[in-house]
Amino acid sequence: MHLMTRKLFVSQIVLLASCHTQSVIAKSTVATPVSLAYIARLYSMKTTTSGKKVILKNKWNTIEVETNSRRAWINGVMVWLQHPCRKSGNNWAIREVDFKTGIDPIMRSYAYVPSKSPSLVMLDPGHGGKDSGAVGARKVYEKKAVLSIANRVKSHLEAKKIKVKMTRTSDTYLSLQQRSDQAIKAGADIFVSIHADGATDRSAHGVETFIMTAAGCDSSNHYGQGGDKSAGKGNIHDAANAVLGFSIQSNLIKTSKRSDRGLRRARFSVLKKTPCPAALVECGFLTNPEEEALMIDPSYREAVARGISNGILGYMTLVKRAH
Ligand SMILES: [Zn+2]
């Protein structure tokens, strides 16, 4: 098990649990402020400040929140908030929606994860066939790189006797709807879509993990969202999505050794329509020369696959322990 998982679990033992039911977040919680002082008391943490950051810390865990910003870090791993941390009276505060669908599920996953132990993992290598996805300057194709990574993730999970299905196993085209339909038909308990990124800015680099944006909130991807704030089936698992996404991103930054672009939010179709805890991983930028070279390097593909599979395994361990 990964060290991060162990650290968080230790903190969970000493804290009193309150039982949270999984449901689409209520509209009223989107705007309600939750002060950092309240969060510090809840987790028995001491508060300090450093530059623009408020730092909450106990023996096991650290939460850093950048003021007037959407960036936060839990045990050093970046977690994007859906609303900036702002002053509320005399206190800095985040929105309740960010506490309930981000910070608290990561800190106290046992109170949020599904009651059923996951048994089937559905891996979704992005793109395929006529849809190449991102293409680098050296003609590295996203559709090929992510299929290779997904195959490696499958091998790691099957070595641990976990049942795995793939939405595609060859260079074939699938619509986004077909991908979530496959997860529904198979009764998947975990869905992980695997991609490589592309951006007009060639300097953009690093790895990131997306989960579904909570209803009524803004996303945090670099494609923009066109003002869409709607809910989807993916919101049923808002809290479990955060547990899964954080576990994957924590492990991915360790094994890939790339910069941490954080646990982010997006209403990508596969996240919106898949009715089980789901995440979408971006394994690096094909538009960045250094990362394009890595994406064809078998040792990098293996490192990324190890990070994703460790993240899935970490999540599965947390669910089992919660029962
Ligand atoms: Zn893609």
Domain layout of the chain by residue ranges: 3-111, 120-322
Q: Cα(196) to centroid of ligand 1, in Å?
A: 5
The rounded Å distance from CA 125 to ligand 1 centre is 9
CA–centroid distance, residue 42 to ligand 1 (Å): 39
What DSSP state is assigned to residue 102?
I
| Distance (Å) from CA 154 to ligand 1 centroid | 19
Phi and psi torsions of 56, nearest 5°: -110, 130
* Ligand 1 mean position, distance from CA 129 (Å): 13
Ligand 1 centroid, distance to 281 Cα (angstroms) = 9
Tokens of 67: 């003021």
Place of tokens 């919660």: 322
In a structure prediction context, what are the per-residue pLDDT tens digits for the chain, which is 323 residues long? 444 444 554 344 333 333 333 445 555 567 789 999 999 999 999 999 999 999 999 999 999 999 999 999 999 999 999 999 999 999 999 999 999 999 999 999 999 988 888 999 999 999 999 999 999 999 999 999 999 999 999 999 999 999 999 999 999 999 999 999 999 999 999 999 999 999 999 999 999 999 999 988 888 776 655 567 888 888 999 999 999 999 999 999 999 999 999 999 999 999 999 989 999 999 999 999 999 999 999 999 999 999 999 999 999 999 998 88
Fold of 3-111: Copper Amine Oxidase; Chain A, domain 1 (3.30.457)
pTM of the model: 0.91
Residue 284 C-alpha to ligand 1 middle, in angstroms?
A: 11
Q: Looking up tokens 């987790």, which residue turns up?
A: 43
Q: What superfamily would CATH give domain 120-322?
A: Zn-dependent exopeptidases (3.40.630.40)
Report the Cα–Cα distance between both ends of the chain, in Å, rounded. 18
| Ligand 1 centroid from CA 84, angstroms | 27
Looking at residue 220, its pLDDT comes to 78
CA of 219 to the centre of ligand 1 (A): 17
Which ranges of the chain would DSSP assign to H, the alpha helix?
3-14, 27-31, 36-42, 96-98, 104-107, 142-159, 176-186, 238-256, 269-273, 289-295, 298-322
Distance 280 CA to ligand 1 centre (A): 9
Q: Considering only CA atoms, which of 173, 166, 220, 156 is closest in space to residue 192?
A: 166
